[in-house]
Amino acid sequence: MTDSTSTSTEAVLDRARFGADGLLPAVVQEESSKDVLMLGWMDREALRRTLTEGRVTFWSRSRQEYWRKGDTSGHAQYVRAAALDCDDDTLLVTVQQVGAACHTGAHSCFEVDPLEPVTATAPVQAETDATGKTSATTTAEAIR
């Protein structure tokens, strides 16, 4: 690890806003499919290990110990990218996933209990182009 990597890692660790319990939620997303695989928790040391070792490390709230995804199951997560959200209180880790991400054997932890929420469509929003023509788009299309 170079001095600049060490310095930038320390800066990230100092910037990250851990909860009162000392933990930061970490959303894990698969690089190739963009699937959200799981949510884990990291303390400062788990975040440091994740940023500097290339493998995702979590803090187990139930076992009160560090665990590196894949060390016992072989279903490892190799770090491809990481980003803090706009409030510095949630981490997104993009990974190359080997095997299942969920302890149940499912590809994603969010596949095991799908819900059936009421869904909605974004309202139509009028948009004027450079020529002055008005067209209707959904709010979601306008954001893109």
pLDDT tens, 7-54? Answer: 699 999 999 999 999 999 999 999 999 999 999 999 999 999 999 999
pLDDT at 6 (0 to 100): 56
Q: Looking at the predicted structure, is the pLDDT value of residue 131 above 80? A: no
Q: Looking at the predicted structure, is the pLDDT value of residue 126 above 50? A: yes
Tell me whether strands 91-97 and 77-84 are parallel, antiparallel or unpaired.
Answer: antiparallel
Q: What is the pLDDT of residues 68-112, one digit of tens each?
A: 998 999 999 999 999 999 999 999 999 999 999 999 999 999 999
CB atoms within 10 A of CB 68: 16
Contact 64, 56 (CB under 8 A): no
What's the CA gap between 67 and 46, in Å, rounded?
Answer: 9
Q: Looking at the predicted structure, is the pLDDT value of residue 2 above 90? A: no
Lookup: tokens for 53: 């070792």
Lookup: tokens for 118: 């009421």
pLDDT at 137 (0 to 100): 59
Q: Looking at the predicted structure, is the pLDDT value of residue 140 above 60? A: no
pLDDT at 1 (0 to 100): 46
